[in-house]
Structure 1
Amino acid sequence: MAEPVLIAGPEDIAAGAAHLARVCPVWAGVLPELGELPLRRRDDGFPAIAQAVIGQQISIAAAGAIWARLDAAGMTEEAALRMATEDELRALGLSRPKARYLKGIADAGIDWIALRDMPDDRAIATLTALPGIGVWTAEIYLMFALGRPDVLAAGDLALQEAARVMYDLPERPTPAALRRLAEPWAPWRAVAARGLWAYYRHAKGREGVT
């Protein structure tokens, strides 16, 4: 089978799911229960990374409410964030650290178009050099905004918990343990992540990611 290039549409998700079912009997048993896995693609660029930062360590509902207020105030683009004060951003619901992070990212002058052609490791390194961007946030950006097929946000607690239940593990795997578990899923680990989030919703009755 040809190596995947990008996850662009439902056909790519289906190809990844078929691969998971071939290489792992656990996935073969679980995938039919989950139905069609969501694409979860979004436009790349500053708004996508800003949404990821806003979503750090708060609920999906809270992150959505803050983003809606920023959007209504015209504060979702780099130029607007450069001009905004921290107090203005805090009044819209951002914590002081996140207000500083977003202003710092807006000031960094990242070439978002160039990121599209960077290898995964280099793109992650570029993003994690920005204020407030850790590996989890960078990997979420690569998966959802750039459509990278083999990225797994192993630090995500919902993914870890889904893997624990799905594979009947004695405890929630660490990020390193989850990466080891995921090695056979290559080159479609980003589809596996979507499957784990879907399984988390199925098992827990709530979303693990937007």
Structure 2
Amino acid sequence: MPTPPGFADIAAAREQLAALDPALARAHAQTPVFEWRLRPGGYEGLFRMIVEQQVSVAAVASIWKRVVEGLDGEVTPQAVLSRDVETLRTFGLSGQKAKYGHEIARAHADGLIDFDHLERLSDEEAIARLTAIKGVGKWTAETFLMFCEGRLDVFPGGDVALQEAMRWADGATLRPREKEAYARAEIWRPHRGVAAHLLWGWYGAVKRGEVALEDGASLA
């Protein structure tokens, strides 16, 4: 598993971002210290991200437990390909997610993507390889690289929570569209991943009522 940035590294990046961009300074001032959200990677990590989408936390835990048990504790491309889609569905997966599990496993088996050496690819190359797999969208590829590969300069511009936090930070009326969010984040290189974590942390704190937006900014 990749080594995530430590507290000191994140703190230094946050200070740089706050000094660079007054909008992020606002978020930085209201967001407590946080850790990098690092999760297990590889095939298993990507498959689990697919399984988690549009499912409650409680349901995911139950489904994933059944998936692991159904695969005899080995969530690997080989184990998934040795079960047909109907068998995977008996573990609690939808037909679509079972098919995506097969697609990702086959991409690895066919050499389209090598999860064992994904770190050799640049962010752009890795995103291109991942999104070439049916069922893996850009947001999934980007968040996988952030959370499962520990990449520090990936920014999922299509994330609605990030877009909303960016709207608050900029005091804007409208949430930026995906293309606009990517363009806005360019100034935060090479710490766009830290900026994303910062904005997510701020977004959560505001939504929980732990901090208030300045200047009467609207949550709507």
- Structure 1 vs Structure 2: percent identity of aligned residues? 39
Cα 1:199/1:82, change in 2 over 3 Å: same
Q: Which segment drifts farther, 107-116 or 150-159?
A: 107-116
The TM-score with structure 1 as length reference comes to 0.86
Number of residues of Structure 1 aligned to a counterpart in Structure 2: 201
Does the CA-based 8 Å contact 1:52-1:140 persist in structure 2?
no
From 112, 115, 119, the counterpart of 2:122: 119
Deviation at 1:114, TM superposition (A): 2.1
Deviations 1:57-97 (A, max 9, x none): 34444434432332343363222211122223222222111
Identify the residue that residue 44 of structure 1 maps to in structure 2: 41
Does the CA-based 8 Å contact 1:142-1:148 persist in structure 2?
yes
The TM-score with structure 2 as length reference comes to 0.82
Identify the residue that residue 131 of structure 2 maps to in structure 1: 128
Does the CA-based 8 Å contact 2:43-2:115 persist in structure 1?
yes
Q: Distance in 1 between matches of 2:74 and 2:174?
A: 41
From 15, 18, 27, the counterpart of 1:18: 15
Alignment pair present for 1:55 and 2:58: no
Q: Distance in 2 between matches of 1:179 and 1:149?
A: 15
Q: Distance in 2 between matches of 1:23 and 1:72?
A: 49
Unaligned runs of 5+ in 1: 1-5
Does the CA-based 8 Å contact 2:153-2:192 persist in structure 1?
yes
Alignment pair present for 1:90 and 2:108: no
Larger Rg: 2
In structure 2, what residue type is equivalent to 1:56? Q
Computed over aligned residues only, the root mean square deviation of the Cα atoms, in angstroms, reads 2.1
Cα 1:92/1:26, change in 2 over 3 Å: same
From 168, 181, 185, the counterpart of 1:182: 185
Identify the residue that residue 106 of structure 1 maps to in structure 2: 105
Q: Distance in 2 between matches of 1:205 and 1:65?
A: 26
Identify the residue that residue 214 of structure 2 maps to in structure 1: none
Does the CA-based 8 Å contact 1:162-1:197 persist in structure 2?
yes
SS at match of 2:68: helix
Does the CA-based 8 Å contact 2:27-2:199 persist in structure 1?
no
Unaligned runs of 5+ in 2: 210-220
Cα 1:88/1:205, change in 2 over 3 Å: farther
